[in-house]
Structure 1
Amino acid sequence: MSIPPKVRIFWWRALSNIIPAQANLMTHHVPVSASCQLCHHHMDSTCHALFWCPIVKRCWKNTVFMVTLKQMHFSELIEIFLRMKDVLIKPDFETFVMRTWAIWQARTRLLHNEGLKSDRVDVEWSESLLRDYQSAQESLNVAPQRSLEPSLARWQRPMEDQRRMEVDAAVNEATDNYSIGGIVRDHAGHILLAFGRKIPKPVSVVHGELVAIQEGLRVIQEQNLTIHDITTDSLLAVQAVTNPEEDFSYTGAIAMDINRSLLGQQKISLRHVRRSANVVAHTLASFAISSQSPFVWDHGSFPIWLVDLVINDLSMSQ
């Protein structure tokens, strides 16, 4: 898999100091205990220190990363990061890396500066650190790397006589405006419905993607339209809805609401797709940012640019 150079350099620098303390000390012939100094687990390791120590797990409990982490409990550190890079979009991956770095720094301070008087690893400052990093990246004014993703995945047709809704969220970083959009198509690719609108600034990228799903369900209910599945390019949003019993903090309530709606509407399935397979929904969400008002198009009222976009999408589909 390909990792953008800037991101690769960033997290390798950040992780260069995240190594087992025991290994570092033993190279200097300093005898140390192999157990965790915070929870006294019999076998300490980098992954234990960053993810599995009970005190540290509190830092991950209220995040949408927890589902993926649970699936990789016995994996090596590099495997965890490569998996996260594969399933997360760039803003979420940067958040994950920064939180990991903050946990390591906070854990080190707790052990070496404050002793064991506290039972809490505080990583709230990682958010401001991430904003500083992102601002620094923007100031570099480096041209974005060309994505290889479009060659990896294309739009796939629904099954015979089924309808699919595709949704996405978008942001204009220059104006700090956010929006959502979506489209409903049948198995032949014909447009049945398209919609989009601006939304208040979400508390996270995942929250914005969940709003897109929720708005799509509302629109099809108003239009009395039946669909069979929903696709989004946010894997974390799918995981949040699939596992609403997890404590997802700011995503918990909306994820639970969507889960109930899906189960109540003929058990509609929710699936993750690559961004390159979600081009039309993403374009509609981006268009909504500049739209003067919310829009819902149906039955022949579709603009020419949308029809052309769908035709192009169909021509490259599998």
Structure 2
Amino acid sequence: MQDTLGDSIVALDREHSVSTLIRNGEWDTDLISASFNPYIAGEILKIPLNDVVVRDSLFWKYDAKGRYTVKDGCRLQRGLFIPPTHQSVHPNEDWWSFIWNLSIPPKIHIFWWRISHDCIPTNQNLYRQHVPINESCSLCNFSMDSTSHALFFCAAIKHLWKNTMFTPVLRGGSHSCTLELCLWLKEQLSKADFENFATHTWAVWREKQNAIHRDKKMPLAADVTWSLSLLSDFRKSKNKEQLAVIPVKGRLLLAFGKQINQPLSVVHGELLAIREGILLIHDKGFTDVQVASDSLLAVQAVTTEQEDLGYIGLCATAIRKHM
């Protein structure tokens, strides 16, 4: 059987079905790699599998949960329908895509989202929100504690930037707002360098806040290199589920890590980890299962028994089946 995207030959008979490619609830990686070209094999392995058998049903591709409405159908027929994934396009969409695809810890993603919106709690931003505070910098007494000043140009933190490769970049160009500076930096740095820059910026902000609010002494420049170690450790652990299973009395029973293929979202990755943990507990002979998660969306997906044929809903159904 010949595939439709290339001239490679699929070593399967026509009577075979998708189930032929599945073994013990997982994709048969060896069979798929031997039967399809690398691109097709990679796309197949990205598709999440669930151990819940559901009846075949129609799925409306323009809705995340597969639900069709007459309103959407009419608007699509009249050429007025805009799929959800194309709504609310921001004029700086490339910037947001760039930021969220950086290989950095989630808390640094969020930190840079706040920088981009100019809403980190500098004195100037707090003053704008009617907090009774002086707009000047708490460390160097500069008249305006703006976002760019707080992160890059404050005299109290200059030594933390002095010997880095980013100093010449920060001095170059001009900018009228923080987002303009961010866009300038994006053009000047490679993706890997920007990841280091983003992590170092977060570390500088953290140390500055410790100096202001915890009366800690501002560290030497060499003492901030821990941020690069943080980034290195994060990259090593990326795409791995880290799970700890703890009994009721609080004593650690067992823990494990497992590499997963392309979770479709953070919530999906959380649900996959929960499912694997429950299956592991059952294999060890335990029947009373209690699950704790710091993801509100994952908890809601498991505890809300509404029909959802999307990948989140199917994964949540699989968890409920085993609990």
TM-score normalised according to structure 2 size: 0.38
Say which one has the larger Rg: 2
Between the two structures, name the one with larger relative contact order (CA 8 Å, sep ≥ 6).
1
TM-score normalised according to structure 1 size: 0.39
